[in-house]
Each structure stands twice: as structure tokens, then as C-alpha cells.
Structure 1
Amino acid sequence: MVRSLPLFHRIAGQPVIVLGEGDAAAAKARLVERAGGTVVAEIQRGIDEGARLAFIAHDDEARCEADALRLRGAGLLVNVVDKPDWCDFTTPSLLERDPVLIAVGTSGASAGLAKHLRLRLEALLPPSLGKLAQGLAEARGALRKTFPESAERRRALDAALGEGGALDPLDAGSADRLGTWLEAGGKAAAPAVHEIVVTRDDADDLTLRQARLLGMADAVLADPQVSETVLLRARADAVRLALPYEGDMPAGLVVIVRRG
């Protein structure tokens, strides 16, 4: 079960209430300022200025609870430091490769675990990842011209961004190859049909290949006995069809999932 809905909240130029004293409050204030927000240390002023988020870091637990109730009653989302059960949202550990932002959260279970997962990921992702992301953003027009159909465009990017592809995001040199790849017309993966067989309801038992195919599929044809837990590994916008299926095969990458 997903315990939280991960969102990226834009607060640049917006007021954010931060209450409390000491290191915890200072850390939250820095987090707000780092994202371009304006720190407001007074409840009523923050409400009047239209704040939508609030951090509470008082040493007094009763004061934390009272302020949380007041702010929540005014319609704000509230984070109470070290009190995950009192929080409407939690703050993840952040990995930045601007404009790429990766957030690692544990639904408040362990900030230390989130931090060390982020540190491991730091070592995997090259500094050039942000340059690649920015290049792809600037190349939207060229990509649409080269691949007018969205499905074809998605397959081309999947082929290029996949492991060992021309634009493999874990390859430090991929950002410098983007222009060359576009000039050569890119390379879209040909439409294909793959069949995978799962033997259990646990998505963690999927092989790397199975998980990759599900994550890239344009359409998934699934045996009714295959669990929803497994099918959730497919893209949210993938066409979902039930087996047996007698219609025309969907275009693009099709993955047939059977229960073994």
C-alpha cells in the first residue's frame, strides 16, 4: 500500500509558515528558502498572506498540537517535526541534479534511512543528469517534429534512455550525445509483443526484465489471475486489457502477463 501521495509543491515567491526555535525550525526555514519560499514566523500573518503550508517545531508538545489544530482549521497542510502521526505531509531527503529532483521518503518512519538511501543514489547519478534533462526539455519541438505520434516518440525515448541506450541517464556523456542523436533522426523501438509469466502476487518477485517491460509497455494484456500489485508496476497511462483478448493488437510495446 502507498501510504503517501508524493507531490512536488512549487512555493517560489510564496509564504510558508515556520514556527518554533532551535535547530529543527532553522532546518525547515532553510528548506523553504532553498525552494524559493518566504518564511513567515507568525500564524495570523501567514494565514493573511495566503500561506498553504506550515512547519511546526516547538519544544512544547502541547503548543505544537494547539498550533497544528489552528492551522489545519484555517485550511493549511501542516508538518509537525518528529510527530509523523500529526503531519499532513512529510519532507523527504532530496537529491538534486537541477532540474531533476529525486525525493526519498519513508512516510515518516525513518529520516536516517531516507538520508542513506539518498546518499547511495548520489553516487550513482552523474552530475550531467541535469544537463540531459534540460536538453530534453529544450528539444521538445525537435522531438515532436521527428516523432509526430506520441506513442512513437515515447518508444524512441525509451530506447534511447534505457540501459546502454544513446541517452542512458547513468552515462556521464549522454547529455553531450543528445544533439547527435536528434540529428541522426533518433531511433524508436519497433512495435513488439512480449509475454511474461508471473508465479506469485508479490511484485518484488518480478525479474528486472519483467519489471522493465511493464514499466515501458504501451498496453498490458493481463490474465485475470494476475494480481493488481503486479500490474501496478506498469505505467499508469498504459492501456489495460483483460485476457482472453480477441481484438486488434494495440500499437507499440505490448506486454502479455500470464499467471503461471
Structure 2
Amino acid sequence: MHSLPVFLRLRGRAVILIGEGEAADAKRRLLERAGARVVGEEAEAALAIVANGDEAAVARLKGRGVLVNATDRPELCDFTLPAIVDRDPVLIAVGTGGASAGLAKALRQRIETLLPARLGALATALFEAREAIRMRWPDAAARRHAIDAGLAEGGPIDPLQGDADKSVATWLAGDIDRDARGLVAIRLASTDPDDLTLRTARLLGAADRIYHKPDVPVAILDRARADAARIIADAKPHGQEQGLTLWLEMAERRC
């Protein structure tokens, strides 16, 4: 991973913008849309966008400790600006580290067609129901599994359903028994994460812990939740642990 994606709250905060013309105008619109105050080079700010290729300005700003984005100059950038899918308050950012803005744009356009216009309403409904969710599932692990089951494909609040926000109350009142628990053993046929089956990819995204042999590639383990425990082991674990546990091993190769 070449960069750490973050979402910055810029409302009311100063951001330096240097340059004129189409590129600078586009960056100004983006900053103003995020609520930032666009200021000149001499102002105090933590972030700056240099839209005119002025390397001297980049050097001056970096000398002041300002994080800089230099338009079309990824080698000079401390941060890059992604293509954005906006379903407020849901934001999806697609970045290539400055390698290809065209590719990021194409991916954004594909994602746009998949996501319902009311996706943001679902996020708002879940936020407003957070206390009720905690009361319904006081245990944190049980709560996470219930939310995962609700949001799963075909679940009562599947985010790709156009009116899922209207089903939050029904989901809270219903019986959730689809959450995965126990130990699931998976034998991987390939070291390429793109070859993962849909089932395996979903299990990786839901697992609480992953036991694996040393030869399981990091690229596959990276498909799991960031907070899932990873434990190297020579054999499948015994006993029952709370939540979902995976055992990963590579399939034997035949000559």
C-alpha cells in the first residue's frame, strides 16, 4: 500500500491554492465543496495544492512544513486527490497514487452505477439507530456479526437495495441467525488473491481471527479485516473460540 487513505474534515479550515486556469478552478471547486477556506501562499495552513507546476512554490511550502499536492507531479506530492463517489455521508475515494487520473475516473464512474442514490440515507439511519443497535446486541462481537449479516448481499439492509434505509427498524426487530461463527477450514488453490472465490473473500472480510500456515501469502491475508488476528500455525486449531475463525492452508501441488 503506497499511501494511507484518510478523510480530512476541512470545513472552515484554510487550504492554500496556487495557480490559475482549468486545473486550479477544478481544485477550488473541490475544496469549497468540502467547506475549506481557499487562501494564498502567505497564509497559515497545513495543506496546499500547487496547480501550476511551480516547483519553487512546492519547495517553499514544504520548507514551512505544509503538506503539498502538486497537480500532475506525483513525485512532488505529499498527498494525492482521489476520484470521489459522493453519497453523503458515504464517500468512496478511488486513488492511483497519481499514476493515472483517467483510471481513477473510470473506476469511479463504474462504481457510481452500482450504488443507489439513497445509500447515504442508509448510513444516516444506522447512525441514528446506534443506541438501539447497542441495546439489541450489547456484546461487541455479536453486534458486529449482526451488522455484517444485515448488510450482506440479500440481507435485510443490503446497501445495494435502493430503499434499505427504510428496513433498519425491521432488521432491528427481527431474528439475526445468518452471522457466521465457528471454525471454517479453507484450502487455497492459488497464491493470487484475484483467484479467491466469492465465498472465501466474504469469509476473510468477516473473520475475527485467521490461523494459517507460514506459506499463505501476505497478499491473501491482506484481504482480511485489518483488525482480524493473524496467527501462524502448523495445524488447524482445536476448540471453539467466540466469533468466526478461519484456518488457511495452501493446496498440495501435483506434479
User: Is the shorter-chain TM-score for this pair beyond 0.5, marking a shared fold?
Assistant: yes
CA distance in 2, matches of 1:113, 1:225: 33
User: Which of structure 1's runs of 4+ aligned residues deviate more than 3 A?
Assistant: 185-188, 245-249
CA distance in 1, matches of 2:225, 2:180: 19
CA contact (8 A) 2:211 2:237 kept: no
CA distance in 1, matches of 2:177, 2:29: 44
Residues 170 and 246 of structure 1: CA distance in aligned 2, closer, same or farther (over 3 Å): closer
Q: Which residue of 2 aligns with 1:25?
A: 24
The one of 95, 100, 109 equivalent to 2:90 is 100
Q: What are the superposed Cα offsets for residues 86-116 of structure 1, whole Å, 9 maximum, x if unpaired?
A: 1111101100111000001111111111111
Q: Which residue of 1 aligns with 2:48?
A: 54
CA contact (8 A) 2:182 2:241 kept: no
Q: What are the superposed Cα offsets for residues 24-70 of structure 1, whole Å, 9 maximum, x if unpaired?
A: 111111111000000002x122x2xxx11100112xx4xx1111011
Q: Does 1:128 align with 2:106?
A: no
CA distance in 2, matches of 1:188, 1:149: 17
RMSD: 1.4
Scaled by the length of structure 2, the TM-score of the pair is 0.94
Q: Does 1:240 align with 2:230?
A: yes
CA distance in 2, matches of 1:79, 1:142: 42
CA distance in 1, matches of 2:149, 2:203: 12
CA distance in 1, matches of 2:228, 2:157: 23
Q: Does 1:155 align with 2:145?
A: yes
Q: Which residue of 2 aligns with 1:250?
A: 241
Q: Does 1:173 align with 2:163?
A: yes
Q: Say how many residue pairs are matched.
A: 250
Shift of the alpha carbon at 1:158? 0.8
Unaligned runs of 5+ in 1: none
Q: Which residue of 1 aligns with 2:220?
A: 230
- Aligned residue for 1:44, secondary structure, equals coil
Code of the residue aligned with 1:229 in structure 2: it is A
CA distance in 1, matches of 2:189, 2:108: 32
Code of the residue aligned with 1:161 in structure 2: it is L
CA distance in 2, matches of 1:190, 1:94: 32
Residues 246 and 122 of structure 1: CA distance in aligned 2, closer, same or farther (over 3 Å): closer
Unaligned runs of 5+ in 2: none
CA distance in 2, matches of 1:210, 1:35: 38
Q: Which residue of 1 aligns with 2:38?
A: 39
The answer to which of 8-17 and 179-188 deviates more is 179-188
Shift of the alpha carbon at 1:187? 4.7
CA distance in 1, matches of 2:27, 2:159: 31
Code of the residue aligned with 1:259 in structure 2: it is M
Q: Which residue of 1 aligns with 2:131?
A: 141
CA distance in 1, matches of 2:229, 2:240: 11
Code of the residue aligned with 2:13 in structure 1: it is Q
Percent pairwise identity: 49
Shift of the alpha carbon at 1:10? 1.1
Shift of the alpha carbon at 1:186? 4.6
Scaled by the length of structure 1, the TM-score of the pair is 0.92
CA distance in 2, matches of 1:120, 1:185: 35
The one of 234, 240, 250 equivalent to 1:259 is 250
Code of the residue aligned with 1:256 in structure 2: it is W
CA distance in 1, matches of 2:246, 2:165: 30
Shift of the alpha carbon at 1:223? 1.3
CA distance in 2, matches of 1:201, 1:74: 45
- Aligned residue for 1:189, secondary structure, equals coil
Residues 182 and 167 of structure 1: CA distance in aligned 2, closer, same or farther (over 3 Å): same
